[in-house]
Amino acid sequence: VRTSAQRTKELTTTEAALLGLLLDCPSSGYDLSKRVRASVGYLWGPAKSHVYSMLRRLEGAGLASSRAVVQADRPDKQVFSVTPDGAKAFTAWLEAPGFELEPGRSTVLLKLFFGRRASPETTVALLEDYLEVVEATLADYREVERRIAGRDEDLYGYMTLKLGLAHAEASARWARDTLDEFRGRSA
């Protein structure tokens, strides 16, 4: 039989992310969705409808509170803030050791793995497409990098971005190498 002490259900990653953003600045679901895209978006991007339901859930759990804000020039909105309990839950999540490191999970990899069942052209096309996408995101990341490099308040975001950059660079290099090797074989 559980007592009331059991109420510390761990946070979803999305819940944690939203609390983290809300700590910076109380927002409506609509605003939050946009803030997600503008910040953690490239590494965590829930659907808009999901954001709304997570907010309601946080509120229900007493981790966030909302107040109606009447606006004259545009539709009214519900602005959510983090409650003391919510802040506690967030730091607990943040400070808790351990993390999930879900593996590759990319269909490119899986398709390549089964490449011997496809024509060489298919594999080459796959790799070329992949390279293209990777180079595009690489360009994005580099732009963000230029924007936030050196800015002290973005230090942690910068460190995070760095890993994304490193991965993208490694991916691009790999794709080029693999393409070369692959073409070498077919030639």
Neighbours of 148 (CB within 10 A): 14
Determine, following the binding rule CB under 8 A, whether residue 124 of this chain makes contact with a second copy.
Answer: no
Q: Is 90 in the site for a second copy (CB under 8 A)?
A: yes
Q: Which runs of E-coded beta strand occur in 38-97?
A: 64-69, 77-82
Q: How many CB atoms lie within 10 A of CB 176?
A: 14
> In 14-133, at which residue ranges do the beta strands (DSSP E only) sit?
64-69, 77-82
Nearer to DNA, 77 or 111 (CB): 77
Q: Which does 173 bind (CB under 5 to 8 A by kind): DNA, a second copy, none?
A: a second copy
By CB under 8 A, is residue 27 in contact with a second copy? no
Asked if 6 is part of the footprint of DNA (rule: CB under 7 A), the reply reads no
Q: Which of 104, 150, 184, 186 binds a second copy (CB under 8 A)?
A: 104
- Residue 80, classified by CB atoms within 10 Å of its CB into exposed (0-12), middle (13-18) or buried (19+), is buried
> Which one of a second copy, DNA, none interacts with residue 53, CB within 5 to 8 A by kind?
DNA
With contacts defined by CB under 8 A, name the span among 47-55, 61-69, 76-84, 172-180 that binds a second copy: 172-180
- Distance in angstroms (rounded) separating the CA atoms of residues 155 and 148: 8
CB of 75 to a second copy, least distance (A): 30
Q: Decide whether 75 or 184 has the Cβ nearer to DNA.
A: 75
Region from 48-56, 60-68, 138-146, 156-164 binding a second copy, contact rule CB under 8 A: 156-164
Which 8-state DSSP code applies to residue 103? -
Q: Please report where in the chains the tokens 């590494």 appear, as a residue.
A: 43
- The window from 53-61, 110-118, 144-152, 154-162 that contacts DNA (CB under 7 A) reads 53-61
Q: How far is the CB of 173 from a second copy (least distance, A)?
A: 7
> Are the beta carbons of 70 and 76 closer than 8 angstroms?
yes
Distance CA 155, CA 161 (A): 10
